[in-house]
Amino acid sequence: MDEAVYQAYKRAGAIAREARDYGQSLLKPNATYLAVATAVEQRIQERGGRPAFPVNIARNHIAAHYTPTATDPLVLNSGDLVKLDVGVHINGYIADTAVTHEISTSTHTKLIQAANEALDHAIAIMKPGVPPSDIGKLVETTITGYGFKPIENLMGHSLTQYELHSGLSIPNIGAYASRRKPQEGDAIAIEPFATTGGGHVISGEGSNIFICVDSFKTHLVRDRALKQTYDRIRSAFSTLPFASRWCRPFLPHNSDLPLRRLARLGVIREYPQLREEHGGMVAQKEHTVIVTTDGCEVIT
């Protein structure tokens, strides 16, 4: 890995770590999703980074993919099990990290420990050439040892410049076949998910998180104002996910309707919320690592 690229990853990781920990300190009863997300995103920018994706706040049976709207009324409650997922980039080089926090109670301490320990074990064996299935098996064994299940259809992922999911997957179960293996210099986000449910997530409602997906379909955008809105969004966010609330400067009358129209045309896509199929509680822990000659370096 080029030294300048390495330093960009390291800086992104340091900012992401600070922003994640700061965000966790804000997870208290009656805190609004919007206040937490905007405070964390502001902290990222104050430290010289840029959000690689909107701050995700997912509670209880929601495993991932929710960010508040600009007028979101949702608040956190005592007993909520909250996943806070934070991404930072420096010149497109991304650090991705997440933590689970139970608000004011300790009902799910073991579930959180299961995810945390699974991540520690995965990091311990990450190195060039290790089969992803070996990592997945260790994650699975660790989580099931606590009496819970790993989420089989959520995975860690490699990171490249301006690409949040760049091809290599790191599973949470052993029954996963992959020809591709980690190589020295890879940046990889490892993220075990543990649940009290059945171990599978399904798509739910919209998340208020979007991504530009198919520039070839822009000829379908015949309305000049709508095309101008799309062009401004594409210029601002490129290939990275963005929040509907981030688009307010581009949207007439503060309406999300243009985003919905662009999604129907297929030029942007909204991520669905991912919920545990059987309503199980979900815990997550995530770090980004850089694979080294004989191991890996945690940067978050």
Q: What is the pLDDT of residues 109-139, one digit of tens each?
A: 999 999 999 999 999 999 999 999 999 999 9
- 141 and 18 in one domain? yes
Distances (CA, A) of 25 to 18, 22, 84, 104: 11, 5, 11, 12
Residue 273's DSSP bridge partners are: none
- 78 and 215 in one domain? no
* CATH number of the domain to which 53 belongs: 3.90.230.10
Look up 165 and say whether it is catalytic.
yes
- 117 and 92 in one domain? yes
Nearest to 154 by CA among 139, 144, 142: 139
- 184 and 220 in one domain? no
Q: Hunting for tokens 């689970």 — which residue is that?
A: 100
Nearest to 193 by CA among 157, 241, 156, 145: 156
pLDDT for 82-101, tens place per residue?
Answer: 999 999 999 999 999 999 99
Look up 72 and say whether it is catalytic.
no
Task: Work out the burial of residue 49: count CB atoms within 10 Å of its CB; fewer than 13 is exposed, 13-18 middle, 19 or more buried.
Answer: buried
- 80 and 21 in one domain? yes
- 119 and 76 in one domain? yes
Active-site choice (165, 200, 277, 297): 165
pLDDT for 174-203, tens place per residue?
Answer: 988 778 999 999 999 999 999 999 999 999
Active-site choice (157, 186, 276, 287): 157
Q: What distance in Å separates the CA atoms of residue 147 and residue 90, rounded to the nearest whole number?
A: 39
Look up 270 and say whether it is catalytic.
no
Confirm if 168 and 122 have CB atoms less than 8 A apart: no
Which residue range is the domain that position 219 belongs to?
206-273
Report how many domains make up the chain: 2
* CATH number of the domain to which 247 belongs: 1.10.10.10
